[in-house]
Amino acid sequence: MFKSKFSLKRVFDLFVSFTGLVVFLPIFIVLGISIKINDRGPVFFRQKRIGRGGIPFELYKFRSMKVTASADGQLFEPGNTSRTTSFGRILRRTKLDELPQFYNVLKGDMSLVGPRPEVEKWIACYPEKWQKILTIKPGITDRSSIEFRNEEELLSGSSDPEKSYLNEILPRKLDLCIQYVDNHSIAGDIRIIFLTIKTILFR
């Protein structure tokens, strides 16, 4: 039963991610050209994240930051949007910057729905919770992505954004991730996908 559930999830991931890459290809081209026009530099942003079993993988996004940003993608300043380009703000607000992660799903690094992958720095926090969370693949979206859709705005209003992320936002995210690990299903994944789309369209 366990294997059958996960093989069905993988089939679902493969079908949706492949279809998404084909359907959104014209949008990929338009966004790529727009990024180049807005701020010369690479179209894609690559960053090492930690996946299932603690294995690192390279996550892809459309670049929303200036090319002066940390070359290895490890720098994370919660609430700091000073490096975000004008077009990058649109990408982040609409979540279009996440579309290249369909490729991560196709490769098998990620799932459509699952705990959002973090950089190594934050994986070192709350190790017992992460140990359970990393038993499954990370995802493009999950309940924490919906609940904290305005995370940048929340952190930008904090006097100490990094501390707020570590002590307030991250623990809540991890609790939601653990709930997902314990109760996930294909029907639940589809519900989260539709809630994500609704949140993006009507935020």
User: Are 138 and 38 within 8 A, CB to CB?
Assistant: no
Ordered DSSP codes for the chain: -HHHHHHHHHHHHHHHHHHHHHHTHHHHHHHHHHHHHHS-S-SEEEEEEE-GGG-EEEEEEE--B-TTS-TTS----TT--TTB-HHHHHHHHHTGGGTTHHHHHHHTS-EEESPPP--HHHHTSSHHHHHHHTTS--EEE-HHHHHTTTHHHHHHTSSSHHHHIIIIIHHHHHHHHHHHHHH--HHHHHHHHHHHHHHHHH-
Question: What pLDDT does 30 receive?
Answer: 97
pTM for this prediction: 0.89
pLDDT by residue for the chain (203 residues), tens only, comes to: 445 556 899 999 999 999 999 999 999 999 999 999 988 889 999 999 999 999 999 999 999 998 764 444 445 556 566 778 999 999 999 999 999 999 999 999 999 999 999 999 999 999 999 999 999 999 999 999 999 998 988 898 888 999 999 999 999 999 999 999 999 999 999 999 999 999 998 86
Kindly give, in sequence order, each residue whose CB lies less than 8 Å from that of residue 143, ignoring residues fewer than 6 positions away. Answer: 176, 179, 180, 192
CA distance 48 to 118: 9
